Amino acid sequence: MLRIPLEFAPGVKIRFIGREIALRKIVEWSERGVGFPIVVYGPEGCGKTSWLRQSIKILEKMDYKVIYVNPAEENFENALIYTEDIKDIIREVVTQGLQHIEISMSSLITRLSDLVFTIAYRIMKKLRKPKIAVLIDEAFQRMELREASSYVKSLLNMIEHSSYEYDKIIAIVATSGGAFRSEIGRHMWAHIMSMWNMSENDFRELYDQIPGEKPSFEDVWRITGGNPRIFRQLYSMRWNIDDTIDYMVRSKELTPDFISRWRRSLEEAVEDPDSIWRSETSREFIDELIRKNLIVYNLYERRPGLWIDQPPPEKDLEIGVGRYVAWQTPLYREAVRKALKKIDR
């Protein structure tokens, strides 16, 4: 399989690595279609975007008309990627969107998740029984919980009740928002699957592709837990782990007020994230950790059918993984640990 090139950092190109199980699932879905939208939930920076972009190539080879949107992108060319032979339909819909709604191109990017439906229905109308793949990356970033649920329901309606004929359809939505997983899951309008950070073997391949001097693989694995975005963050900070941790303390808003309020619970969680699973743990505390994207709560059983790719270990406290709760990456745990130490000074 041709592996797509990816930009790891300015001037550093790598090729897509691993995710063999996740890519095989794309092939399986493309052969039979799906009965529900697939919502893929995983830690920030675990590789969902790269997997979706690699999936475009597979789906195009299976003769799918592919529409990929990422409303979080600033560049329109990266925010909307599509199969070449539907470019006239895309241009028609985009032009109409700009004219009738009278919005700027940057505002149009934020509306791409909605335009997906117009594009998909236009493809069904103009082409004879097409195979369609709709891939939506971080679609919920600018949505409230109820909006996200309604959006997934609209995807389900497109699959089940389209006025136009199609051969097969695939709808995949990727998100890092844990609250969205809970909200969407309770409605049963989608099939929710989890993605974890890269496996140790795949992450070693990524590590080997990065040029120049760097910390040992073991040290990088312990601080990233296989999260490629954190690895990239370390690279951009010239492998200075302390600076990277300080950056995370601020970006995750681990303020003295937050740390002081939940001090005891946080002290237990940095030692064992499963302490958060206890029945006496404050729901407000759990929701705060989920909102800040610090943890994955209520981890699925490690059965292959519940995970889009290789699941995390059953429990590995070295990288912050418990049986029921895990830090999204060990670096977040270390940021909390450092914030705890600061209020002791």
The pLDDT tens digits for 213-230 are 999 999 999 999 999 999
User: Which pLDDT score, from 0 to 100, does residue 182 have?
Assistant: 77
User: Which pLDDT score, from 0 to 100, does residue 51 have?
Assistant: 97
- Domains, the chain, ordered by start: 5-194 (3.40.50), 200-342 (no CATH)
For 174, phi then psi, to 5°, come to: -110, 140
User: Which pLDDT score, from 0 to 100, does residue 110 have?
Assistant: 73
Q: What is the pLDDT of residues 84-126, one digit of tens each?
A: 999 999 999 888 766 655 556 566 777 788 889 999 999 999 9
User: Which pLDDT score, from 0 to 100, does residue 337 have?
Assistant: 98
Q: How far, CA to CA in Å, does 62 sit from each of 32, 56, 117, 301?
A: 11, 10, 21, 32
- 185 three-state secondary structure: helix
Average pLDDT across the chain, whole number: 92
pTM over 0.75, yes/no: yes
Q: How confident is the model at residue 341 (pLDDT cuts 50, 70, 90)?
A: very high
Residue 55 CA to residue 23 CA, distance in Å, equals 7
User: Which pLDDT score, from 0 to 100, does residue 205 have?
Assistant: 96
More confident residue, 226 or 186: 226
For residues 307-334, one letter each, b for 16 or more C-beta atoms within 10 angstroms of the residue's C-beta and e for the rest, the string is: bbbbbbbeeeeebbbbbebbbbbbbbbb
Half-sphere exposure of residue 100: CA atoms within 13 angstroms, side-chain side: 7
- Mean per-residue pLDDT for 242-265? 97
User: Which pLDDT score, from 0 to 100, does residue 104 have?
Assistant: 61
- 279 three-state secondary structure: coil
Q: Single out the residue of 245, 248, 252 nearest to residue 288, CA to CA.
A: 252
- Mean per-residue pLDDT for 254-275? 97
Q: What is the pLDDT of residues 32-54, one digit of tens each?
A: 999 999 999 999 999 999 999 99
